[in-house]
């Protein structure tokens, strides 16, 4: 049978082996792979789009291997699945993706950058086309074990399953974007198993503990801040509340502004969702605390005179300046210690508010609206918790029943 002629894309060549010096037969496969568009920055720093025709050229030791490679490459090109060789690294892909997120709030973008920092430091040097599932799984193990260096060089604490899964979600989104651009053929981030959720018991204060706390801070200059916290407001909402949004005569306040700590910056703006922007009635205890705060601020202004740095915020320092959100967290911890109460996070005051409302029989939909949640189901599953006293009351309901 006559020998089958080589297709025009395959050329039989002779090359010299570098080690032995012998002449070897090789089959060189050259395929026109279409056009490739890249973005280069010119001398003036202006990005320029460059499009050029490209070819794939590979050598194989056997004719059969060359024919198989040719068929596979042509199939990929014809079906629009061919991926051009790229020197794009994981770090470059991460940065390009972050820079494309124009609609993200600064706080969300900061969270993404923070959670992607170990991806850049540990995997950033790898070409994105050579990133493997084992690479990502190794990073997951190291983050779970702890010890990887932070940007400042300090050893990291072990990451929770929730934080690791958050990072994996970001990696998957970045690689999905690279797939759309034709730079990778598969998404190794999607191939990595997510970690099972860790059961964490949320800490809340009981009604007696809340009463003890509020009695303890009754003469504290910032007692109104803790009243606002126990009324279910977020830290950023407390720090951003303005007097113009408070109507003591009508006993209403609007949650219309937030101040959030993002790294070393303070980001001010409207609440994060439409449901978060809400109007709440002011309870009698909160009204008393707010009136006392306004009177104290007037005395501070009179006392300091021209040195008073008046701001528009309800919660402020004696100097009149806005309070830093992180200071609220610091003061909350100190107040719990001085009141000899167990430690709960400042955000757990929201959980406490929701739980106490729930135990008083307030409908979940109303609690969700009060907290600024879009979903009552979310409020029920995340923000309401059973308390020991309530469980004891439930046990009493069995008294006198037949066993």
C-beta of residue 14 within 8 angstroms of C-beta of residue 25: yes
Predicted TM-score (pTM) of this structure:
0.69
Q: Any alpha helices (H) in 205-283, and if so which ranges? A: 207-216, 223-230, 235-240
Q: Residues 212, 333: one domain?
A: yes
- Given this model, what pLDDT does residue 170 score? 97
For residue 293, tell me if it sits in a domain.
yes
Q: Are residues 246 and 156 in the same domain?
A: no
The pLDDT tens digits for 383-394 are 666 556 655 665
User: Of 131, 166, 191, at which residue does a domain stop?
Assistant: 191
Beta strands 47-60; 10-16: pairing state: unpaired
Nearest residue to 25 via CA among 56, 57, 60: 60
- The answer on 331 and 247 residing in a single domain is yes
Counting the structural domains of the chain, the total is 3
If asked whether residues 232 and 367 sit together in one domain, one would say yes
Are residue 373 and residue 225 in the same domain, yes or no? yes
Which of the pair, 75 or 115, is modelled with greater confidence?
Answer: 115
pLDDT value of position 402? 46
Domain shared by 363 and 228, yes or no: yes
Do 310 and 320 meet the contact criterion of CB atoms below 8 Å apart? yes
> Is the residue at 2 inside a domain?
no
Strand partners of residue 37: 51
Statement to judge: residues 247 and 376 lie in one domain: yes
pLDDT in tens, 292-337: 999 999 999 999 999 999 999 999 999 999 999 999 999 999 999 9
Pair 281, 385 in one domain: yes
Number of H helices, E strands in the chain: 15, 8
pLDDT at 397 over 60: no
Question: Looking at residues 267-292, what average pLDDT do you find?
Answer: 93
DSSP assignment of 6-18 equals PPTTEEEEEEE-T
Report pLDDT digits (tens) over 167-187. 999 999 999 998 888 788 889
What does the alpha-carbon distance between residue 251 and residue 272 come to, in Å, rounded to a whole number? 24
Higher pLDDT, 190 or 76: 190
15 vs 50 pLDDT, higher one:
15
Q: For 74-80, what is the mean pLDDT?
A: 70
DSSP string over 19-60 = TT--EEEEEEEEEEEEEEEEEEE-TTS-EEEEEEEEEEEEEE
Mean predicted confidence (pLDDT) in 366-387:
79
Can you tell me the distance from the alpha carbon of 322 to that of 328, in angstroms, rounded to the nearest whole number? 11
Q: Is the pLDDT reported for residue 56 higher than 80? A: no
pLDDT of residue 47: 56
- Between 17 and 226, the more confident residue is 226
Do 114 and 178 lie in one domain? The reply is yes
User: Does 129 lie in the same domain as 31?
Assistant: no
> Confidence class of residue 74 from pLDDT cuts 50, 70 and 90?
confident
Is 197 inside any structural domain? no
CATH for 319: 1.10.443.10
Nearest one of 231, 233, 254 to 357, comparing CA atoms:
231
Residue 226's domain comprises 207-393
- Answer whether residue 216 is part of any domain: yes
Residue 298 backbone dihedrals phi, psi, to 5 degrees: -65, -40
Tell me what pLDDT residue 395 has.
Answer: 53
pLDDT tens per residue, range 138-171? 999 999 999 898 888 889 999 999 999 999 999 9
Could you tell me the pLDDT band of residue 379, with boundaries at 50, 70 and 90? confident
Nearest one of 339, 336, 337, 360 to 349, comparing CA atoms: 336
pLDDT digits (tens, 9 = 90+) for 274-284: 999 999 999 99
CATH, residue 139: 1.10.150.130
Residues in the chain: 403
- Of the pLDDT bands very low, low, confident and very high (cuts 50, 70, 90), residue 40 is low
Mean pLDDT, rounded, of the chain: 87
Residue 81, pLDDT > 80, answer no
Residue 17's pLDDT is what?
86
Return d(Cα 227, Cα 233) in angstroms, integer.
9
Asked whether residue 175 falls in the same domain as residue 298, the answer is no
- Considering the domain architecture, whether residues 327 and 352 belong to the same structural domain is answered as yes
Beta bridge partners of 24: 15
| 180-214: b (≥16 Cβ within 10 Å) or e | eeebbeebbbeebeebeeeeeeeebbbeebbeebb
């Amino acid at each position: 049978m006559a020998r089958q002629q080589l297709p025009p894309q395959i050329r039989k060549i002779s090359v010299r082996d570098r080690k032995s010096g012998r002449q070897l037969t090789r089959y060189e496969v050259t395929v026109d792979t279409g056009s490739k568009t890249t973005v280069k920055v010119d001398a003036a720093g202006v990005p320029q789009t460059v499009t050029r025709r490209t070819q794939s050229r590979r050598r194989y030791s056997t004719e059969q291997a060359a024919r198989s490679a040719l068929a596979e490459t042509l199939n990929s090109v014809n079906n629009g699945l061919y991926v051009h060789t790229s020197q794009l690294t994981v770090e470059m892909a991460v940065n390009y993706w972050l820079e494309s997120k124009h609609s993200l709030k600064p706080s969300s973008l900061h969270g993404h950058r923070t959670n992607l920092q170990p991806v850049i430091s540990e995997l950033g040097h790898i070409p994105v086309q050579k990133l493997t599932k084992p690479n990502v799984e190794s990073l997951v193990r190291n983050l779970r074990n702890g010890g990887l260096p932070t940007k400042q060089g300090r050893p990291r604490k072990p990451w929770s399953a929730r934080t690791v899964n958050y990072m994996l979600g970001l990696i998957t989104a970045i690689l999905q974007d690279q797939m759309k651009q034709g730079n990778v053929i598969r998404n190794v981030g999607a191939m990595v198993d997510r970690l099972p959720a860790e059961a964490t018991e949320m800490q809340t204060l009981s009604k007696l503990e809340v009463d003890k706390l509020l009695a303890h801070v009754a003469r504290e200059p910032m007692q109104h801040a803790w009243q606002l916290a126990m009324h279910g407001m977020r830290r950023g909402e407390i720090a951003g509340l303005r007097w113009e949004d408070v109507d003591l005569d009508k006993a209403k306040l609007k949650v219309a502004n937030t101040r959030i700590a993002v790294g070393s910056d303070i980001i001010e703006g409207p609440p994060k969702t439409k449901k978060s922007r809400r109007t709440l009635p002011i309870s009698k205890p909160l009204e008393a605390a707010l009136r006392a705060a306004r009177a104290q601020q007037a005395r501070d202004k009179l006392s300091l005179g021209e040195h008073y740095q008046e701001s528009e915020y309800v919660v402020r320092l004696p100097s009149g300046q806005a309070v830093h959100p992180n200071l609220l967290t610091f003061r909350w911890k100190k107040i719990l210690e001085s009141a000899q109460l167990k430690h709960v996070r400042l955000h757990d005051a929201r959980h406490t508010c929701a739980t106490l409302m729930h135990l008083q029989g307030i409908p979940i939909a109303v609690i969700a609206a009060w907290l600024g949640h879009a979903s009552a189901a979310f409020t029920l599953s995340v923000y309401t918790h059973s308390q020991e006293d309530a469980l004891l009351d439930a046990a009493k309901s069995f008294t006198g029943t037949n066993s």
